[in-house]
Structure 1
Amino acid sequence: MAQWSSKKFLGLTWSGVVAVSLLAGCGGEGSMDPSAPVQDQQQSATAEPQEPSGLPAVQIESLDAVPLDGVLSNKTKSLLKARLVKGQEQIHREFPLEDDTGALVTLRDDGNNGDEKAGDLIFSAIANVDFESHKKTQERILSFEKDNPNERLTFATFNNREIVAERAVTALSSDIFRPGISIPIFPVGITTAVKPAQSLLITHTNVVNDPTRTYNPCTNTGNASGVWTFNHLMTQMANTAATGITPANFTEQWLNQWNSAQVINSWSVPARTAMNTKILNPWPRIGGQLDMTKSPFKLVAIVNRLDLGKGTGPVGYSGRGSSGGELRFVFAAADKSSGCAIGPFLVIFEFGVPKTACTDVKTWAQQWQALSNTGVVLGSAAYNASLQALTQQVVVANAAPTKANGSAINQIRTNENMLITVPWQLREFTLSASGPTPNFLAGNTTVLTPGASRNNTTIFRDFVNTNQAAILANSYGVPLTFPIISTNFLGARPEIPSPANAFWRATGILNNNARHKVSLNTCDGCHGREAGTNNFTHINQFGGLSGFLNAGMVNVNNPFTVTDPVATLTSRQFFEIRDRAQHLDLTANQSCLIRSAFTLPMLAVH
């Protein structure tokens, strides 16, 4: 029988990770409504430096379950026993996990409430464990080994996009599954069971040009009200029955924000009035309102971001999401001022998947993984119907009744240089049921991205140095103001004049890894040099992918290597698609307990 003891790959020792810290809303101060527009009047917000908002993440060295019931089932009362990485037992006295019924249990080492013995460095609790799922996992491991005799199955531990450790995985003997026996519990993510182009990042022409579901504004072909059109998404988001706002007014109010200067968190966001000449003026109208069936936006990609739902803590980069992560649609604008050309103006709809119960999230993941099944043809009628069944669960009106307009939208982000050639500019918009423009999209701060003028300054240096521990633990936020209330910090319009200079730095930063993490999580750093995004976009207007994404689309084990822009002798290897594929397979096939124990919440925008 193979035990799951620590081994070293990539020069590092593997350990499981479970998050116990609580992130503040990264779009502003934790006490604010994270979906509310951050207008200038919000400068009264507390301006204390952002501190780690909880203990460092718990790192589990090993996790075992001892069945206490006479029969092992999908809900077996068991004694959980966890050992932490050496030294962490001095930091953590207890920590929560979600068991396989969805209940939170607290593992502790104080001899109380299910813990066997105080001070023995074994954290334990009574919980329900799904051994049926665990047995099936062993069968999947054996099947993989049979089909891939020359390939070793491993599980990678990621720290926000980079592999920090990797561990060999082998199947447990079936003899071990008996009452009273200590059974190792461990994560498995079989990435070969996931086809990235079918289940993660979909740009196939038969999907984005589906004549019954999409619309091409340059050829005026397709279904102008199809379920994957800009028209459909904006109509559902406006939710006229609930708000009284027509989709045309909802859309025009949003786009008109480019036509006049905005002030967000005391930052000036200058007008880009080419919005009129290139988008609004050529757009046909009916009765004075935009004809939404002639929307000048073409679908480019549909993206499954289940990975933004990792862990048991706040989900997604803003705390606005759900444990189902996000569903994203990427559109490109058509410039119809002279002829018609699909231009470099990307609009990204980012919906929070309204699924939080572990069983619901698992079903969601299984439906996405099913798109990779043998015999399923990407872009076929059957494939597109299955994909529609997934997307409609999220985008329709009232999919998220407690959110503004009943819409599941988290935010819309834009990335363009079509309105002004240089520089590229990124903006973010959110819905709120209150504020100056209730139930309309309003410009907001750009999450995790300071204002551009704070780059290469002592202010940015002090922010990184003050928050170094939280940054390295992926538990930091970027506050509205820093270091004092009169100094605005969180930005509103990241701009990229050239990719070579699009990264964050300052003389005197004590830890370059902390600098790198902050820079990579900014909009401009991720779309620039920190992620090696030389053409500004991760998905361009024609569906082309950046190297950061494309490296793993054919083979998830292909790294994308980037030279650190400050420590130029340091190379960083990113496995973005492998991370997403491994998490999808784990979520679809393993139990709530394993997902809770061995995944670390993402702190990322892109």
Structure 2
Amino acid sequence: MRNGKDMKKRFGTLAGSLLLGSLMAGCGAEPAPEQVAGQVRQSAEAPAPSAPVLENLEFIPSQTPSAFTPGLLRARLAQGEQATQIDLTGDDGKPLALRDDGLNGDEKAGDGLFSGFGVVDLDEHRKTQERIATFQKETTEPLTVATFDDRVLVRESPLSPLPADIFAPGRIIPLPITGIARAVNPSKSLIITHPSVVGDPTRTWDPCTGTGNPNGVWTFKHLMTEMANTTAPAPFFTERWLQQWLANQTVNGRTVPARGAMATQILNAWPRLSTGELDLNRSPFKLVAIVNRADLGRGNGGPYGTSGAGELRFVFSVMTSQTCLRPYNGFLVIFEYGVPKPQCAQVKSWAQSWMALSNPLLALGSSAYNTQLQSLTQQVVLRNAAPNKPNGSAINQVRTNEIMLSSPWWEMREFRLFSTAANPRNFTVSSPAPGHLVEHVTVRTPFDMFNNSATLTNFLTANNAAILAGTHDVPLDFGATLNFLGAFPQMPTPSFIWNAPNLSTVPNGFTARHKFSLNTCTGCHAGETATQFTHVGVTGGLSPFLATGMTNMNTPYNVTDPVSGQVRSFFEIRERAQHLDSAANQSCVIRRFDRPVFFPH
């Protein structure tokens, strides 16, 4: 690499003719609304392609550093990565490309150093260094930043502030990923289960005590009413969804058996209006958690309809006259919304608002805290928050996890708003209605019949590289095997896993098996994470997979692989916290270090 003095000379001849001219003309435009709509529809059905992983990124400013500093960006790909171009978003919101072709600021074609002109907010980068220094002074423990790849902690790197004098024209300024996990209070900004929040009498309804506000902004009624929009009255919209358990459904060519206890346990016990409609003011659904999954937005948005801001989730538990007394006989419903903020500046503002909830001066569950949280949730759940999605709703999917309707096994189901633009094989064929919640295939989870089968061994072999990289998907059909992607996965025991015979014939077979199983709904909720069916329980309690990090983010949650015996360490909450801090406090350029994620849970 050239030194800073040489680079300063180069800018004397390049800045005027290339950099400033290209910036004034504009390097590109924001995607058109119809383009965004197409991307949303596509990502709702399959994982997005992954961008190449970067090893490092640096910037050489051509003028005095400021909030909008033009200059030369340079990057190297991580080992094993390949690309002809590295696409970035500048801090002016414009797309830019780094190339290794010897043109437009690139020093030498084919040397592995990709270059291109763009704008970086160096004022913010300086503030990041000040934050690092402040946190260093507050603790005697070394400050580090962790690199995660598909939930695996790859490495930890020391986190030290850059020297102040490096911020000058012509100097090479590193742009490393920075996320300070300890800046986040996970109970306030990631997984919120505090009784004063989920039991706020002005915003929630408690069916066990018959108290609260049935029209509150965090009630089941409010979410269903906004989701239905003008498609149907909310009581009808709700009942049509629940009635799908009363009859056999056909999803991807196979039968999903009815669970008739939906009538006796829920629908028949639900109070009705004089018109015969469900009385949503007396819904049996009690809020137990509000969850910020900003981490699902890494890498410009993950699969299944998420945006760069990830998902916002609400977890409800069915509370009837029986389950109020015996809540372990559970029925959980999870509303999973794609946060409708696709642009980097929007994502950043969203993350900053969640970080603000971690302010030590803001008491969890206080009136001020709940008001700030409400301002966030309403941006996502209100009708027409996502105009290009069905019903204008930002909902990605509604998932259920229950044992209430049929003992002795827990069963999971997934529902999405039906659109005629979607592949009908993903939905039940039993009279799907546009704009209604319709049973859908269960993401990344084959039909249970394929567990411990040669077909699964073949799948692990054929998709080995993608599974190991965490980028695989489970298709509707696999080769000559039709109707492979499943629905209604069941968990007979807490130790349930997905397994396959002859793993020794599969490249990295034990790891491939684990990664595949972990990314299924049932494997994630059972043996792969040593979890007893629920990560957020029917009364709001958290599984050890989550609770360990909520107590101390640096404490590993260790799980012994049930097949290989390998001990795997998870730092789930630390990873989520680090990402939130990074999204809130780093520039759009540096966010390019985010490794895309494709896990749906």
Greater alpha carbon shift after TM alignment, 116-125 vs 271-280: 116-125
Q: Could you say which residue in structure 1 is the equivalent of 2:576?
A: 580
How far residue 53 of structure 1 moved from its aligned partner, in angstroms, is 7.9
How far residue 382 of structure 1 moved from its aligned partner, in angstroms, is 0.6
Kindly provide the amino acid, as one letter, of the partner of residue 76 in structure 2: R
CA RMSD after TM alignment: 1.9
Please say if 1:210 is aligned against 2:200.
Answer: yes
How far residue 85 of structure 1 moved from its aligned partner, in angstroms, is 3.2
Please give the alpha-carbon distance, in whole angstroms, between the structure 2 residues aligned to 1:35 and 1:78: 37
Please give the alpha-carbon distance, in whole angstroms, between the structure 2 residues aligned to 1:340 and 1:551: 28
Q: Could you say which residue in structure 2 is the equivalent of 1:567?
A: 564
Kindly provide the amino acid, as one letter, of the partner of residue 61 in structure 1: E
Q: Is the 8 A contact 2:447 2:489 kept in 1?
A: yes
Please say if 1:181 is aligned against 2:167.
Answer: no
How far residue 352 of structure 1 moved from its aligned partner, in angstroms, is 0.5
**Structure 2 residue runs without a partner (length 5+):** 1-38, 425-431
Count of aligned pairs: 548
Q: Could you say which residue in structure 1 is the equivalent of 2:112?
A: 121
How far residue 183 of structure 1 moved from its aligned partner, in angstroms, is 0.6
Q: Could you say which residue in structure 2 is the equivalent of 1:499?
A: 494
Q: 1:92 aligns with which of 74, 80, 83?
A: 83
How far residue 541 of structure 1 moved from its aligned partner, in angstroms, is 0.5
State how 1:510-521 maps to structure 2 within 5 Å.
Answer: 510-511=507-508, 512-521=510-519
Q: Could you say which residue in structure 1 is the equivalent of 2:73?
A: 80
- TM-score by length of structure 2 reads 0.88
Kindly provide the amino acid, as one letter, of the partner of residue 133 in structure 1: E
State how 1:553-564 maps to structure 2 within 5 Å.
Answer: 553-564=550-561
Q: Could you say which residue in structure 1 is the equivalent of 2:314?
A: 329
How far residue 476 of structure 1 moved from its aligned partner, in angstroms, is 1.5
State how 1:333-482 maps to structure 2 within 5 Å.
Answer: 333-336=318-321, 342=327, 343-434=329-420, 436-482=432-478
Kindly provide the amino acid, as one letter, of the partner of residue 278 in structure 1: Q
Q: Could you say which residue in structure 2 is the equivalent of 1:483?
A: 479
State how 1:26-425 maps to structure 2 within 5 Å.
Answer: 58-68=52-62, 70-88=63-81, 91-148=82-139, 150-240=140-230, 243=231, 245-286=232-273, 287-312=275-300, 315-318=301-304, 320-336=305-321, 342=327, 343-425=329-411
State how 1:515-534 maps to structure 2 within 5 Å.
Answer: 515-533=513-531
Please give the alpha-carbon distance, in whole angstroms, between the structure 2 residues aligned to 1:584 and 1:557: 16
How far residue 504 of structure 1 moved from its aligned partner, in angstroms, is 3.3
Kindly provide the amino acid, as one letter, of the partner of residue 174 in structure 1: A
Kindly provide the amino acid, as one letter, of the partner of residue 334 in structure 2: I
Please say if 1:550 is aligned against 2:547.
Answer: yes
Match of 1:506, SS? coil
Please give the alpha-carbon distance, in whole angstroms, between the structure 1 residues aligned to 2:191 and 2:554: 16
Match of 1:327, SS? strand
Please give the alpha-carbon distance, in whole angstroms, between the structure 2 residues aligned to 1:341 and 1:550: 23
How far residue 433 of structure 1 moved from its aligned partner, in angstroms, is 3.2
Please give the alpha-carbon distance, in whole angstroms, between the structure 1 residues aligned to 2:93 and 2:344: 6
CA-to-aligned-CA distance 1:409-453 (integer Å, 9 cap, x gap): 000000000111221000000002336311110000000111111
Q: Is the 8 A contact 2:496 2:522 kept in 1?
A: no
How far residue 334 of structure 1 moved from its aligned partner, in angstroms, is 1.5
Please give the alpha-carbon distance, in whole angstroms, between the structure 1 residues aligned to 2:560 and 2:190: 26
Please give the alpha-carbon distance, in whole angstroms, between the structure 1 residues aligned to 2:78 and 2:540: 43
Please give the alpha-carbon distance, in whole angstroms, between the structure 2 residues aligned to 1:258 and 1:515: 32
CA-to-aligned-CA distance 1:279-298 (integer Å, 9 cap, x gap): 00011111111011011100
Q: Is the 8 A contact 1:329 1:348 kept in 2?
A: yes
CA-to-aligned-CA distance 1:571-599 (integer Å, 9 cap, x gap): 11010000000000001111111112x11
How far residue 31 of structure 1 moved from its aligned partner, in angstroms, is 12
Match of 2:589, SS? helix
Q: Is the 8 A contact 1:461 1:507 kept in 2?
A: yes
Aligned CA distance change for structure 1 residues 326 and 31 (closer, same or farther; 3 Å) = closer
CA-to-aligned-CA distance 1:504-543 (integer Å, 9 cap, x gap): 333233322222111100001001101111x210011111
CA-to-aligned-CA distance 1:324-380 (integer Å, 9 cap, x gap): 100000000023379865441000000000001111111100000000012110001
Greater alpha carbon shift after TM alignment, 459-468 vs 96-105: 96-105
Aligned CA distance change for structure 1 residues 153 and 32 (closer, same or farther; 3 Å) = closer
Please give the alpha-carbon distance, in whole angstroms, between the structure 1 residues aligned to 2:244 and 2:322: 19
Match of 2:376, SS? helix
Please give the alpha-carbon distance, in whole angstroms, between the structure 2 residues aligned to 1:433 and 1:134: 43
Kindly provide the amino acid, as one letter, of the partner of residue 444 in structure 1: H
Please give the alpha-carbon distance, in whole angstroms, between the structure 2 residues aligned to 1:113 and 1:577: 42
Structure 1 residue ranges (4+ consecutive) displaced by more than 6 angstroms after TM superposition: 337-340
CA-to-aligned-CA distance 1:251-307 (integer Å, 9 cap, x gap): 000000011111100121111111111100011111111011011100000000000
Please give the alpha-carbon distance, in whole angstroms, between the structure 1 residues aligned to 2:546 and 2:93: 33
Please give the alpha-carbon distance, in whole angstroms, between the structure 2 residues aligned to 1:300 and 1:145: 36
The percentage of aligned residue pairs carrying the same residue is 52
Please give the alpha-carbon distance, in whole angstroms, between the structure 2 residues aligned to 1:406 and 1:32: 13
Please give the alpha-carbon distance, in whole angstroms, between the structure 2 residues aligned to 1:97 and 1:349: 32
Greater alpha carbon shift after TM alignment, 336-345 vs 551-560: 336-345
Aligned CA distance change for structure 1 residues 366 and 80 (closer, same or farther; 3 Å) = same
Kindly provide the amino acid, as one letter, of the partner of residue 354 in structure 2: W
How far residue 57 of structure 1 moved from its aligned partner, in angstroms, is 5.1
Please give the alpha-carbon distance, in whole angstroms, between the structure 2 residues aligned to 1:492 and 1:539: 21
- TM-score by length of structure 1 reads 0.88
**Structure 1 residue runs without a partner (length 5+):** 1-29, 37-49
CA-to-aligned-CA distance 1:475-498 (integer Å, 9 cap, x gap): 2211001122x5211010110000
Q: Is the 8 A contact 1:57 1:473 kept in 2?
A: no
CA-to-aligned-CA distance 1:25-56 (integer Å, 9 cap, x gap): xxxxx9986658xxxxxxxxxxxxx9x985x7
Kindly provide the amino acid, as one letter, of the partner of residue 600 in structure 1: R
Please give the alpha-carbon distance, in whole angstroms, between the structure 2 residues aligned to 1:516 and 1:235: 40
Please give the alpha-carbon distance, in whole angstroms, between the structure 2 residues aligned to 1:583 and 1:516: 24
Aligned CA distance change for structure 1 residues 317 and 504 (closer, same or farther; 3 Å) = farther
Greater alpha carbon shift after TM alignment, 515-524 vs 434-443: 434-443
Q: Is the 8 A contact 2:195 2:365 kept in 1?
A: yes
Please give the alpha-carbon distance, in whole angstroms, between the structure 2 residues aligned to 1:32 and 1:132: 37
Kindly provide the amino acid, as one letter, of the partner of residue 535 in structure 2: H
Kindly provide the amino acid, as one letter, of the partner of residue 230 in structure 1: F
Match of 2:599, SS? coil
